[in-house]
Structure formats: structure tokens, C-alpha cells
Amino acid sequence: MIIAIILILVLAMLASCIKIVPQAHAYIIERFGAYNATWNVGIHFLVPFIDKVASKVNLKEHVVDFAPQPVITEDNVTMHIDTVVYYQITDPKLYCYGVERPMMAIENLTATTLRNIIGDLELDETLTSRDTVNTTMRSILDEATDPWGIKINRVELKNIIPPSEIQDAMEKQMKAERERREAILRAEGEKKSAVLIAEGEKEAAILRADAKKEAAIREAEGQAQGILAVQTAIAEGIKRINEAAPGEGYLTIKALESFEKAADGKATKIIIPSEIQGIAGLAASLKEITEDKDEK
């Protein structure tokens, strides 16, 4: 019975000496209180009563959100800034033996570094230089934590909280700036609208003038064509008359017709050429002779 109990105790002790290190972890092994080895992923065996697991280190990337820290800018404005630090343990041995309470050390180092950086910047620069502050802090913290087996991958300023009176002034300034931009945009819009209206009126006036010009040209061309057609017809008529070789009697009759048309007007005085007067007298004599014959 005693042998069985001893055997069970021995088996339990041997089983407890078998250690399996999971993925993304590392075990620090001490022998007689001194560092002996770092176990990585896999199965390992402890020497009973000699070795022990001093620390289990998580090698994944960690994220720490530190509480807001009061900082003073170069222009003596006190504000509160909280930071977020992304870090990863690269050397488990240095992490375990490099510094006491590494997280507190990183937090204090972050606070002092932030105060030093912000102390060289004015308020406006602080609000507009987040990337510069993040990069500077990451570089300083990474260099400082390297002996601790820690690598700082990224540092971010989460919130920058200025005093309430500064916030009110900033809001008023932003409101005034927005109103100024609105006024400028409105003025530019009205200017463009006026220019477009003026250009439209100008183009309309040009088009109206062009239309009147075109109408006048077409009207003049029409009148010229009409006159040309009339003159052409007259010339054609004269040509045909000349080709027909009219006699003296025909010419006399046409002269009398022209005289009749001239006398039918409203003129109070008509000057008759001598040739036509002779013809008219001859016509009157012929008329009288004809009437006397009729009476007999």
C-alpha cells in the first residue's frame, strides 16, 4: 500500500515536471534562483526540486491606454492628453530582469516624454502636430525600452483636452471662420451670377444686331433684285421693239399714250414738247374734219 502511494506521488511529480509552452508565449526557467533558460513553443521537462518556472511571458502585441496627463504648452496653456501605446515583448529574459514593474515604467516614461515634447510646442502647434508628436514619442520610448526587452510599435495621442475657456474661444474662432468663408462663397457666387447675366445680355444684344443687319441686307438684296428684274424687263421690251422696227405712226401713238398718262396726274402745269404739240394739233384738225363730214 505504501509502495503504491509512493509510486503515485512519483508519477504525479513527474507529470508536473512536464511543461507545454503554447504559441506566442515563453517561459523563464530559474535553477536554484538564477536564470537558467527561456523555453519557447513546445514540450519541456523540469528537473524536480531544482528548476522552476519563474515567469510566463506573453509575446503578443499589447495595447495600453494610459490615463490623461496634465501638460503645459510653450505658451503656458495647461491641457490633458491621454496616450495609447502599442508594444511587444521581444526578449523575455530582459523583460523579466530588466526593470521592476515594466508597465508602470512605460507609463511614467510616456508621461515625462509627452511633457517634454508638448513643452516645446504652442497650443496651435500641439493641436495640428499629432503625427509629429506620435513619431517623436515612439522613437524616444522605443530607444528607452530596448534594454527592457520591449519594442514600442506605435504611440497615439488619443485625446487632447484644452481648458474650457480655450475650447469656447476655439469654437467662436471656428464659427467666425466658417461665417467668413460663407460670406466669401456667397460673394463669389453673386459675382459669377452677375457676370453670367451681363454676358448673356451682351450675347443677346449681339444676336439682335446681327439679326437686324441680316434682315436689312436681305431686304436690300430683295429690292435690288426687284429693280434689276424691272430694268431687265424694260430693256428686253425695248430690245424687242427695236428688233420689230416700228413705224412712225406707232411711235406717235406711244407718245400720245405717254402724254395721256402724264396729263392724268395732279400736276397744275405740263410742258409739252413741240413735236407732241404738232401731233396734237394734227389730231385736233382730223377730229374737226371728221365731225363736219358727219353733220353734212
CA 107 remoteness from chain centre: 43
Distance CA 101, CA 99 (A): 6
Per-residue confidence (pLDDT) for residue 268, from 0 to 100: 52
Domain ranges of the chain: 2-57, 61-162, 164-251
Inform me whether the pLDDT recorded for 163 exceeds 90. Answer: no
Give the Å distances, CA to CA, from 101 to 37, 107, 108, 148. 21, 10, 11, 11
Under CATH, what is the fold of the domain 61-162? Tetrahydropterin Synthase; Chain A (3.30.479)
Per-residue confidence (pLDDT) for residue 89, from 0 to 100: 94
- Note the pLDDT tens digit of each residue in 266-290: 555 555 555 545 554 544 444 454 4
Inform me whether the pLDDT recorded for 90 exceeds 90. Answer: yes
Per-residue confidence (pLDDT) for residue 287, from 0 to 100: 47
Ordered DSSP codes for 243-261: HH---HHHHHHHHHHHHHH
Q: Which class for 194: exposed (0-12), middle (13-18), buried (19 or more C-beta within 10 A)?
A: exposed
| DSSP for residue 47 | P
Average pLDDT taken over every residue of the chain:
82
- Note the pLDDT tens digit of each residue in 105-131: 999 999 999 999 999 888 888 888 889
- Which range, 82-86, 157-161, 185-189, 288-292, is most confident? 82-86
Instruction: Cell numbers for 204, please give them.
Output: 443677346
- Asked if 95 contacts 101 with a C-beta cutoff of 8 angstroms, the reply is no
pTM: 0.57
Inform me whether the pLDDT recorded for 236 exceeds 70. Answer: yes
Per-residue confidence (pLDDT) for residue 161, from 0 to 100: 86
Inform me whether the pLDDT recorded for 231 exceeds 90. Answer: no
Instruction: Cell numbers for 152, please give them.
Output: 514600442
